[in-house]
Amino acid sequence: MVAAVTPTQEDHICTLDEREIPAYNRMRTELEANHLNEWVVIHGGKLVGAYATFEAAAEESTKRFGHEPYLIRQVGARPLRLPISVQLRGRVHA
């Protein structure tokens, strides 16, 4: 399930996966040194690429990974905290 976020928000979680955020946090120092203000894509716990715009990162991620988990985050931006209702949207089955 893709979390609904707008490109104007500082941090974009396209799908939620416990590996992607810790991987970003481990890479943070290097990313901030080499990719500050760029949009990075993390998939499978690894850096996939850095992009000038959110749109470019999202387009490439969608082509490569479809509905698989990945994280798009703007390096240096404050993390966005999504409400639990947004995080669980589409995951809870009655």
pLDDT of residue 47: 96
- Quick one: CA dihedral 86, 90, 47, 74, positive or negative? negative
Q: Do 74 and 11 touch, CB atoms closer than 8 A?
A: yes
The answer to whether 54 and 12 are in contact (CB under 8 A) is: yes
pLDDT value of position 67: 84
pTM for the structure as a whole: 0.68
- Locate 12 and state its tokens: 């974009």
Q: How confident is the model over 9-25, as pLDDT tens digits?
A: 445 544 455 789 899 99
Q: Is it the case that residue 87 has pLDDT exceeding 70?
A: no
pLDDT at 88 exceeding the cut of 70 = no
CA 90 to CA 1: how far, in whole Å? 6
Q: Read off the pLDDT of residues 29-84 as tens digits, 9 standing for 90 and up.
A: 999 999 999 999 999 999 999 999 999 999 999 999 988 889 999 999 987 776 77
> Is the Cβ–Cβ distance between 10 and 78 less than 8 Å?
yes
Residue 54 CA from chain centroid, whole number = 10
Question: Under DSSP, is residue 62 helix (H, G, I), strand (E, B) or coil?
Answer: helix
